[in-house]
């Protein structure tokens, strides 16, 4: 029996349906989650996201989903944030001013400072720095798609790092049942499907 994976649909999400298709390719049954009551029966939860930290948090708070996601995470069921979805797991963001995040991960979201063009867009690899079931079978030769101008700055719970234009940034985090990926698995071809399969196997 396939698991039911909830994908949070909030105003800043944008890529809900591409993520849903990729999860289905990995073997999941997907349920789009817009309200807290939609979380009933959800085995695992994915928070997508493109856009700004402040807009994403505003949408989550106004819909009541911020409290629902925090409560969901406390049940120890797996939660995966992707791109902006990873960033809003942090304590605070500094995009267009200071905005409180969901505070499920200790960290700050700040603009990338590097010699390369920002946003960082395109395929890049991972340097796995901590053992995690989410990245099982992933090697340094696997390429993942990135598209972001901001990064999560933190020094704990890091599972992978990525280097762009000589600048090393956090590309993956895990704190217990909570996971975050800066890259887009749904745009990362077979390597991304493998990550989703790992998430389903948790």
Positions marked active-site: 83, 184, 186
63, 67, 73, 77 alpha-carbon torsion, rounded to 10°: -50
CB 73 within 8 A of CB 177: yes
> CA-CA distances (angstroms) from residue 194 to 51, 64, 139, 198?
25, 32, 11, 6
Q: How many CB atoms lie within 10 A of CB 78?
A: 20
- In this structure, what is the dihedral angle of CA atoms 4, 157, 109, 86, given to the nearest 10 degrees? -10
Residue 14, C-beta contacts closer than 8 angstroms, at least 6 positions apart: 48, 49, 50, 51
**Coil/strand/helix, residue 119:** coil
CB 7 within 8 A of CB 33: yes
Determine the 3-state secondary structure of 185 from DSSP: helix
CA angle 178, 3, 6 (to 5 degrees): 55
């Amino acid at each position: 029996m396939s698991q039911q994976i909830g994908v949070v649909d909030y105003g800043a999400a944008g890529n809900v349906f591409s993520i849903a298709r990729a999860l289905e390719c990995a073997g999941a049954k997907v349920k789009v989650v817009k309200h807290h009551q939609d979380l009933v029966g959800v085995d695992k939860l994915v928070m997508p996201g493109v856009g700004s930290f402040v807009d994403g948090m505003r949408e989550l708070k106004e819909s009541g989903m911020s409290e629902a996601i925090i409560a969901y995470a406390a049940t120890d069921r797996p939660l995966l944030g992707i791109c902006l979805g990873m960033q809003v797991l942090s304590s605070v963001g500094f995009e267009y001013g200071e905005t409180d995040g969901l505070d499920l991960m200790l960290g700050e979201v700040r603009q990338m400072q590097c010699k390369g063009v920002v946003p960082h867009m395109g395929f890049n690899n991972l340097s796995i720095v901590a053992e995690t079931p989410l990245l099982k079978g992933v090697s340094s030769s696997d390429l993942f798609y990135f598209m972001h101008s901001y990064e999560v700055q933190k020094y704990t719970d890091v599972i992978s790092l990525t280097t762009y234009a000589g600048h090393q940034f956090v590309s993956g985090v895990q704190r217990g049942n909570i996971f975050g990926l800066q890259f887009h698995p749904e745009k990362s071809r077979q390597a991304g499907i493998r990550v989703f399969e790992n998430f389903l196997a948790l």
